[in-house]
Each structure stands twice: as structure tokens, then as C-alpha cells.
Structure 1
């Protein structure tokens, strides 16, 4: 449960549903990770301490754990599904409910990887994605399952709320060490994976910043293979004084609330949790055309979904967004908040999962 949107959603889901008729135990292939501390103490966490590469002994340890008597194994992404399929003897000693949380990469589209999923899905009682577009993507690749459904993520609209006014945003920035209380503040939130495209965002910001002297950029997050490269690029930039790294934040709500624009330049998402959090916070989002973005954002209602796959396209889109007045950005953010309240509330998401878990365990 390292830092990441999927992990945070799962912890919140277990804490919510574990208050009633469901009991959860978490099994991490490697180590518990930073989000384990947020999990309610009634949910045990098991770490299998898997080393790099494939290790059959990990499947054996997982098998012994599952044989204690579980009603369902809920796997998330590919590696856990591989080990769970072996540990459950193809889903025969315990049914598997598998979740796909990320848009497929070109590597995932290779024939042997497609075949791998097709075979492993046979061990699953059901498969879910986090966006309808993901379901369509799987079907187009002929990776099908008779119980394939989208379970759209949700957001806690109480924790993530809009700032009351500009003065609250300024106060939040000051309180959290952001040295520009009155600027137009852009932000990116996430681990330093290459698919998040921090480096490209910094270059695009450098292109538009001279024409927008009131703009600043904050980077919220930690960990990931690109961390050193991104931080070095920020330090060495001619605009270093207009960028700020905030590190990992257990509670990102105030950091999102203080923004004027969230940038999701990712090349690959299943459904962006930070986009949901920004919508609930009344902060407009500039998103790349990645999986699920069009399901969250309508033009001018919560933000804009554009092709920002190149640095020039990203710079152009940033320029268009920051050229809007604060009141115009605020209006777009207000419509995003309305979408979060009516379509993507956390309670609605938790109920969708609860209904599915009951159905799969014969308790519906």
C-alpha cells in the first residue's frame, strides 16, 4: 500500500465497509507501505516480502493464508492476480474478484500479455475496472469476462471541499509553507512515475511562465523512479524560484483546495483519483485524454480534457487555462463540485462495492 490513488481508495473503502457486515484482511506482496497506517486496526495486514522477480514460494505462503477461510479474494492489477490464481488453484478454493486500475500500456497490448490476461481471467468469478472506457478497452483487445463491470471511483465530498474564498486559499498556502499566497497556483499531485509526466509539465510551465508572471507551480508527492530527475530539473530551472516541491502528504485535501488549476498530464490512468478530489474541491482540472477523463469532466464543467501528449500541446493548453480570470476558473470549478456531489460521492461508490461484494459472496 505505497503512496498512490488506488491504494488510498482501497484503504478508505475498507475503513468504510469494515464498520458493518464485512471483514477485511490485506495481503501485500512486498511490504505494507505508507497507507497501511491509515487502515483501521481491526483489519490485519500481511506482508509477503516478495523480492524482485517471480517466486513460487510467495504463492505458497498466500495459499496458506487463504486456506484460513476467506469468502473472496479481491486482487488489484496484474501481479496480485498471478499469485492469487496460483494460490487459489485457479479460483477453486476461494473465488477471485479482480480489479483493473490502470489504462493499458503498449507493453500490456503485446500478444503474450493479452493471452496471459485471457487465461488468468478464467480463474476469476468477476472482473471490474474503474471506468467504462477501461471496460471498452478490454473488450476491444478481446480480453473478456462474462462478469466484467465498471465500478467508478468516488470521492469524500466532506474532506474534499472548495475554499470559501480567495482569502482562505491564501491562508492555506501560508499555513503549508507555500511562499506565494496571492499567485495563480498550478499543481500536480502524484508519485514520480514516468507516466505522470512531471518532466514534461515542468518544460511546458517554463514555456508559458514568462507570459504569465503571476503563475506558480507546486509538486505534491514522493517516491517513484523519476523522483531524482524531476527534483533536479526543478532545482536547475531558470524558473526554480517559481516552483515548489511539497513532498508526500498524508492529507492532500488542503493542497488541492489551495490550487487554481490541477494538471493531470498523465499518459496512462485507469480513472484519476486526484481529478475526483479536485472536482470535489471546486478546483478546475486540465487533463490529458486518458482513460476515464471524459467520464469525470465535461467541457467547462470541472475542467478540460485535451490532447496534451506533447510538450507544445501541454504548453498551449496551460496558456489557455491560466489566461482565464480567477472568477472564470472559479465558475468552472463550481460546476465540477456539482458533478462530484451528484455523480461521484464516496457513499455512492461504497454502496456499489458493497452490493457487488454481497452478490459475489452469496449474501445479496
Structure 2
């Protein structure tokens, strides 16, 4: 049995973290998978994300203190030795630095690193750190989207880069019953309502403010479901009140069973200012829900071009027009078929497993 250790910055609900859990589920049972979170205490981490409960024996939290920590390097080195790690897979720059140093000190380990977005490399400090970390540990570098690979090539043009696009679990995210889903969410809507949904952190970068403002231009049959929480929740609720949209904009908070959320929708909207390679659009389409999304980061790579709409900006009026257009659009193509062909989690995991053990006598 070979041991694969994923190292992440933290384990809280998010695209990167969900992807790692999907990798755990789809990786061959011949391998042992451990997930190490640099930040957070174990009990609190499991309490804050119920999905982690079923994997509790495979999760380790280091509860790293602020600032650079030599202790974490030692902890990782000990973990790699204790579990006789064959592969270490880091995600983002913090885990790259810490696990890269620890993996370098254990020469038997194959180190793979995935970059999930590129906008953080706009900062010169991050570029210097990334260049240092790559030169030190020399991992196999993976971009999760074509736009990420292009950005990495522009900065680290001599470094070989693989592309493995994110995938989702199509058995979990599948076609469902709309009315049953709305009943489960305890949402009472007028007959013939058109329901738009958005899921994500309620933060400025996610663009929910623009989406709420778009509803000023839409008639009363349109309703908005917002799943998630964040620092902007109170501000967004005040905005809804100011625009007298209390009966049409519904804050659902954290949703434990996301397929139910998607099943309740007529369409999904992602108005973000910045994105990497979002999973939410993949999940929605796997549930048969068409998407409207702002053309940032790798978003365009996630959309079925025949059943979804990509907008050039996330201005309120642009979003409103796209929502109305989607409402009247004849659906001749299945967004789910697009996901099954291009973004199946099993295909993603197979590609990573090939990379993990490529040319290695492990």
C-alpha cells in the first residue's frame, strides 16, 4: 500500500478543499490517503464542516501559529516518516513551502504541487516566494486550468507544467426533483417563480452585491437563493432591505447537502470578480442546471458553451439581461453531459495517479 499525503492551508468549505475530499473518495483503495491541514485545531475543524466527519481518521490538523513556523516543517517531516509517505501533494503556496522543504529532506518522496489560481501571483512577494519554493523542492507542478498554466508559464517559463482540470463527483451531483428540493429547504415561493441561485462565501470578491442589484431590474417572478456565509452578510441584507427585495432574496446560510440546493434552482449565477477554476459551476451543471457566469479566471473553461451564458462583466444590468435571456433560451443540450465528458472526478484522479507514480520506482 502506498501513502499519499495532501497538504492544504486549512480545511473549511471551499472549492479546493472539496476537490481534495473528492480525490480521497475516488483514489484507488490500494492507496492510503491522509489530509494534513496546516491551520486550525482538529475538533473545531470537524465541527465547522460536518462533511469531514466521515474522514476523521484520515485528517490531521497542525494548528499552525501565525508567521513562519520551523515547527511545522518538523511536524510534516515526522508525519511523512510515520506514514511512510510515497507521495506528498501540496495545494497553494503555503503548503508548497512547508511540505516542499519537508519532502526535500526525505528524498524518497515524490512531491506534486497544484496551483488552483494565478491572481495571487500578481504580487511580487508571492512571485518571489513561489520561485524560491519551486527551485528548492522542484515538485511536479500542476495547473488546474489552462489560464493558470498560461500565467505560470509567463512567470516560470523554464519550469515544466502539467494541466489537470478539476473534476466533481457526478454521482453526488445529479438530476433531482425541483419541488422536493424547495420543500427540503423550507422555501415557499409563488407559482411559476424563476429561481436563481448562488453559492459561495459572502465576500466582496464573490460579487453577490452586483447580483442582488440585478434583481432591481427583474420582475417579481424572479427569486434569488444565496447559500453561504461571510463578512459581507449584514451589508448584503441591508442592501436587500434598502431595495425592498426581502420577499425575493433568500439567505440560506451554510448548506450541508449542496445537491439539494442546486436541484431547487432554475439557473445558477456566478458573478465573481476573481475566480480560479470554480467547482460550483461544475456542480450546478452536473445537476442539469444551466449557468450564467462572469468571464474571469478559468470560469469559461467550466461552462458548457451550448447551455450556459458567459458575460463580459458583472455589472447589475448585464447580469439582469443575461438572466432574462437564459429564461427564454431553448435548452437543446444537456449541461450534465458536458460535465460527464470533461470534468468527472475519476478522470481527474486517474491523471494525478499517473503523475504521482510516473517514472518512479516507488
* Structure-2-length-normalised TM-score: 0.86
- The answer for the alignment partner of 1:12 in structure 2 is 22
Residue 43 of structure 1: CA displacement? Answer: 4.8
Q: Cα gap change, 1:57/1:143 in structure 2, threshold over 3 Å: closer, same or farther?
A: farther
Contact 2:86 2:108 in 1 (8 A): no
Does 2:41 align with 1:28?
Answer: no
Residue 203 of structure 1: CA displacement? Answer: 2.1
Note the residue ranges of structure 1 that are not aligned, 5 or more in a row.
Answer: none
Does 2:245 align with 1:239?
Answer: yes
- The answer for the alignment partner of 1:56 in structure 2 is 70
Contact 1:281 1:337 in 2 (8 A): yes
Q: Distance in 2 between matches of 1:4 and 1:355?
A: 26
- The answer for the alignment partner of 1:184 in structure 2 is 194
- The answer for the alignment partner of 2:289 in structure 1 is 283
- The answer for the alignment partner of 2:100 in structure 1 is 85
Residue 180 of structure 1: CA displacement? Answer: 1.2
Find the residue that maps to 2:172 and give its secondary structure: coil
Q: Cα gap change, 1:49/1:281 in structure 2, threshold over 3 Å: closer, same or farther?
A: same
- The answer for the alignment partner of 1:218 in structure 2 is 225
Q: Which of 154, 158, 166 does residue 171 from structure 2 map onto?
A: 158
Contact 2:220 2:248 in 1 (8 A): no
Note the residue ranges of structure 2 that are not aligned, 5 or more in a row.
Answer: 1-10
Does 2:210 align with 1:200?
Answer: yes
Q: Cα gap change, 1:144/1:39 in structure 2, threshold over 3 Å: closer, same or farther?
A: farther
Q: Distance in 1 between matches of 2:225 and 2:158?
A: 41
Q: Cα gap change, 1:48/1:174 in structure 2, threshold over 3 Å: closer, same or farther?
A: same
How many residue pairs get aligned? The number is 344
Q: Distance in 2 between matches of 1:319 and 1:154?
A: 30
Mapping of residues 205-354 of structure 1, within 5 Å: 205-206=215-216, 208-209=217-218, 212-222=219-229, 224-299=230-305, 301-309=306-314, 311=315, 314-325=316-327, 328=329, 331=331, 334-354=333-353
Find the residue that maps to 1:115 and give its secondary structure: helix
Q: Cα gap change, 1:232/1:353 in structure 2, threshold over 3 Å: closer, same or farther?
A: farther
Contact 2:50 2:256 in 1 (8 A): no
Residue 235 of structure 1: CA displacement? Answer: 4.8
Mapping of residues 38-187 of structure 1, within 5 Å: 38=52, 40-41=54-55, 43-68=57-82, 69-89=84-104, 92=107, 94-105=109-120, 108-122=121-135, 123-142=137-156, 144-146=158-160, 148-163=161-176, 168-180=177-189, 182-187=192-197
Contact 1:285 1:304 in 2 (8 A): yes
| Deviating more after overlay: 231-240 vs 247-256 | 231-240
Find the residue that maps to 1:74 and give its secondary structure: strand
Contact 1:75 1:98 in 2 (8 A): yes
Q: Cα gap change, 1:37/1:274 in structure 2, threshold over 3 Å: closer, same or farther?
A: closer
Find the residue that maps to 1:23 and give its secondary structure: strand
- Give a deviation string over 1:69-92, Cα, whole Å, max 9, x none: 211211111111122233334774
| Deviating more after overlay: 190-199 vs 148-157 | 190-199
Q: Distance in 1 between matches of 2:134 and 2:210?
A: 36
- Give a deviation string over 1:146-204, Cα, whole Å, max 9, x none: 2x1111111222222234xxxx3133212311221631011111122332122222223
* Structure-1-length-normalised TM-score: 0.85
- Give a deviation string over 1:242-273, Cα, whole Å, max 9, x none: 11111112220111122112111112222110
- Give a deviation string over 1:251-306, Cα, whole Å, max 9, x none: 2011112211211111222211011011111111111112222222254x231112
Q: Cα gap change, 1:354/1:231 in structure 2, threshold over 3 Å: closer, same or farther?
A: farther
Contact 1:15 1:39 in 2 (8 A): no
Find the residue that maps to 2:31 and give its secondary structure: coil
Q: Distance in 1 between matches of 2:257 and 2:94?
A: 28
